[in-house]
A and B are shown apart, each in its own frame.
Chain A
Amino acid sequence: DTGVSQNPRHKITKRGQNVTFRCDPISEHNRLYWYRQTLGQGPEFLTYFQNEAQLEKSRLLSDRFSAERPKGSFSTLEIQRTEQGDSAMYLCASSLVRAVTDTQYFGPGTRLTVL
C-alpha cells in the first residue's frame, strides 16, 4: 500500500492558463475527495466521488473547475483560465466507506502558484 499520491507536487502557471492535477487513491478505496487549503486555514471541501460518480460539489467550485474520476480509480482536477486567487494547496484524500464512518487519508498535495 503506497498511500495516496498526487502529481505534480508543485505547479507554477501564468494567469489565464489551464492546469490539471492528478490524484491516485489508495487501491480499493471507493471514495475520493478534493480539498483546497490556503495559508492559515484548514482544508476546505471542493468535491467528492463514490466510485466514478461525482456526488457533491462545493459552492467554492466555480465553473472553471472540473473534476473527473474515470473508471473509479484515479481522479483529475482541472482549473481553466486560472486566476491569482486560485493559488493554494490542492489536497486529495481517499477512504473506504464502511457501515457508519470512514477515515480519509490524504496525499501530499499539489501547491499551485498563479502569477
Chain B
Amino acid sequence: DQQVKQNSPSLSVQEGRISILNCDYTNSMFDYFLWYKKYPAEGPTFLISISSIKDKNEDGRFTVFLNKSAKHLSLHIVPSQPGDSAVYFCAAENQGGKLIFGQGTELSVKP
C-alpha cells in the first residue's frame, strides 16, 4: 500500500510561471513532511519541510502548503526557472525518522 502518493508523474511549465506539485498521504499519524529535488545520477537534495502544526512554510521561491483534513500537501515554485527542472519527491516522516516517499513528479520548465 502506497502511503504517500504523487499522482502526476510529470509536469511541464513555462519559465516565469508557477509550478504546483501535489502529494497525498493516507496515514493521519504523519506529522512532518519534506520535499526533495533530484537530478539524474545524484542523491535527493532537501528543499523545504513543514510540520503538521503549520499549514504553510515559505523559503524564497518555494512554498509548501499542508491541508491536514484532506491529507494533502503541495509545493509551489514561483517563478519557475529552467534550473528547477528535476524530479521532485514528497516524503512523510514515520516512526524512527524513516521517510516514506512518493513516486516523484518530473518537472520540466521550458524557456
Number of interface residues of A (CB under 8 A): 29
- List of B residues within 8 angstroms of A62 by Cβ: none
Task: Output the nearest chain A residue to B49 by Cβ-Cβ distance.
Answer: A103
- Write the B65-98 contact mask toward A (1 if CB under 8 angstroms, else 0): 0000000000000000000000001010110111
Partner of A102, one of B44, B89, B91, B97: B97
Q: Report the bound CA distance from A108 to B38 in whole Å.
A: 10
The answer to the question of A41 belonging to the interface, with a C-beta cut-off of 8 Å to chain B, is yes
Q: A42-B104, A103-B34 are contacts. A48–B46 as well, Cβ < 8 Å?
A: no
Chain A residues packing against B (C-beta within 8 Å): 4, 6, 31, 33, 35, 40-45, 48, 55-56, 91, 93, 95, 97, 100-109, 111
Chain B residues packing against A (C-beta within 8 Å): 4, 32, 34, 36, 41-46, 49, 51, 89, 91, 93-94, 96-104
